[in-house]
Amino acid sequence: MKEIEKYRSGHFEKGFGYKFFVPVLINDEWSWRTTIINKLLEKAAIKLGELNSFAKLVPNIDLFIHLHVTKEAVVSSRIEGTRTNMDEALLPIEEIKPERQDDWLEVKNYIDALNEAIVELKNLPLSSRLLRNTHSTLLQSVRGEHKLPGEFRTSQNWIGGASLADAVFIPPQHQIVNSLMGDLESFLNNDQIEVPALIRIAIAHYQFETIHPFLDGNGRIGRLMITLYLVNEGILEKPLLYLSEYFDNSKELYYDNLTRVRTHNNMLQWITYFLVGVEKTAANAVDTLSKVIQLKNDLEYQINSGFGRRSNSALILLNILFQNPVTTIDNAAKKCSLSYKAANDLVRIMQEKQMVKEMTGQSRNRIFIFKPFLDIFSD
């Protein structure tokens, strides 16, 4: 039994000219005396319940998940220094400036990694194997492609500084990574202990970032793991909650709280910060869904009352844009079973009514984005 208030994070051991940190194992019962945790757990659970209930009321909720995932990919990658914005993330790579294509690919890989992991959860538990598979997709053909994609590290890494000599933090040696990750995996899947899911994933996220099992991509995989766990446990019925924006908006506090667990044994502060983030993020997700539904209703009313004989085609295109908020005239013609001229006229009217915005500035091969929808996710 581990008591959060008496938690001891681990110890340092000597390497060759440096000291590395060895965290204590976490697969155990956890208890606490501080009542604030119970209050925060309750608040977070209520907001998650509201999010799940609201998602059930939304027709075709899967249409809206794509943009949630895209925003998560943009924000989580931004924490690591990638500078792709929402508009760019939705464009084909041919429309991205050469100097920004590496960043674009990293965001695309994050989207692919998350989507593939959600599918894999149907056949695999949330495990080291699944995380390695996800990591392999994350680093495919990008700047970290030579840093053992899909494999735990086989050498020492460090955080901050230019080398081990001036590193801010040195994670455990690679020889014990497998055993530490095995303990973390057991903790996530242990149904013999009574640890609330939100407490469990808060502790697991800290532990993962402390182990730093990969040579690159640990931050992104660790944040992605939160959503995967909540979906896997049925806490989230749909992947609609992502904490990366909360972490990004309080980045210094995020890193400080993780660090203070190691330096001051302050697991209580980390869990408190995490639970506040879940509550706030769930509330924001409900607000976002509410705005999406209002937008859909408003635009459908505009189309039905002002598009005349084009109304049916416009409604078809509108639903397509909610699923993928980028289109071309050719794509609109194909999806709506229209001639090129009819599709061009339809998109022109939608552009005049500020439903879509042209992105390329070209006269041919134009690309249009569903600007009002994107604006909701850019707030």
- What confidence tens digit (pLDDT) does each residue in 301-343 have? 999 999 999 999 999 999 999 988 999 999 999 999 999 999 9
For residues 258 and 132, membership in a common domain is answered with yes
Res 294 pLDDT > 90: yes
- What confidence tens digit (pLDDT) does each residue in 70-103 have? 999 999 999 988 889 888 898 889 889 999 999 9
For residues 68 and 202, membership in a common domain is answered with yes
Res 60 pLDDT > 80: no
306/349 Cα distance (integer angstroms): 10
pTM surpassing 0.85?
Answer: yes
More confident residue, 60 or 320: 320
Looking up tokens 């008496």, which residue turns up? 6
Q: The domain containing residue 12 runs over which residues?
A: 2-288
For residues 263 and 312, membership in a common domain is answered with no
210 Cβ neighbours under 8 A, 6+ residues apart? 9, 10, 21, 23, 171, 172, 258, 261, 262
Residue 270 buriedness (CB in 10 A; 0-12 / 13-18 / 19+): buried
Domain limit, last residue, from 259, 288, 317: 288
What total number of domains does the chain contain? Answer: 2
Specify the pLDDT at position 235: 94
342 Cβ neighbours under 8 A, 6+ residues apart? 313, 333
251/273 Cα distance (integer angstroms): 12
Specify the pLDDT at position 358: 94
What does the mean pLDDT of the chain come to?
Answer: 94
- What confidence tens digit (pLDDT) does each residue in 257-282 have? 999 999 999 999 999 999 999 999 99
DSSP states of 209-278 as a string? Answer: HHH--SSS-HHHHHHHHHHHHHHHTTS-SSS----HHHHHHTHHHHHHHHHHHHHH--HHHHHHHHHHHH
Q: What is the CATH number of the domain that holds 352?
A: 1.10.10.10
227/151 Cα distance (integer angstroms): 21
In a domain, 296, yes or no: no
Specify the pLDDT at position 378: 79
In a domain, 254, yes or no: yes
Specify the pLDDT at position 173: 97
Residue 22: strand pairing partners: 11
For residues 254 and 330, membership in a common domain is answered with no
78/63 Cα distance (integer angstroms): 25
- Strand order across the 368-369 sheet: 326-327, 368-369, 357-358
Domain limit, last residue, from 257, 288, 319: 288
Widest distance between CA atoms in the chain: 77
278/46 Cα distance (integer angstroms): 10
315 Cβ neighbours under 8 A, 6+ residues apart? 300, 303, 304
Specify the pLDDT at position 361: 77
Specify the pLDDT at position 239: 92
- What confidence tens digit (pLDDT) does each residue in 209-232 have? 999 999 999 999 999 999 999 999
For residues 326 and 215, membership in a common domain is answered with no
For residues 321 and 267, membership in a common domain is answered with no
For residues 199 and 317, membership in a common domain is answered with no
For residues 188 and 319, membership in a common domain is answered with no
In a domain, 56, yes or no: yes
For residues 19 and 148, membership in a common domain is answered with yes
For residues 249 and 311, membership in a common domain is answered with no
For residues 323 and 230, membership in a common domain is answered with no
The token pair at 63 is 């249409």
Res 155 pLDDT > 80: yes
178/331 Cα distance (integer angstroms): 48
Q: Are 190 and 103 in contact (CB under 8 A)?
A: no
In a domain, 297, yes or no: no
Domain limit, last residue, from 288, 316, 340: 288
Q: Are 10 and 24 in contact (CB under 8 A)?
A: yes
Reduced to 3 states (helix: H, G, I; strand: E, B; else coil), residue 26 is coil
Q: What is the mean pLDDT of residues 49-69?
A: 84
89/73 Cα distance (integer angstroms): 9
In a domain, 294, yes or no: no
Res 379 pLDDT > 60: no
For residues 26 and 146, membership in a common domain is answered with yes
What's the number of CA atoms in the CB half-sphere (13 Å) around residue 127? 8
64/306 Cα distance (integer angstroms): 25
Q: What is the mean pLDDT of residues 144-163?
A: 94
In a domain, 298, yes or no: no
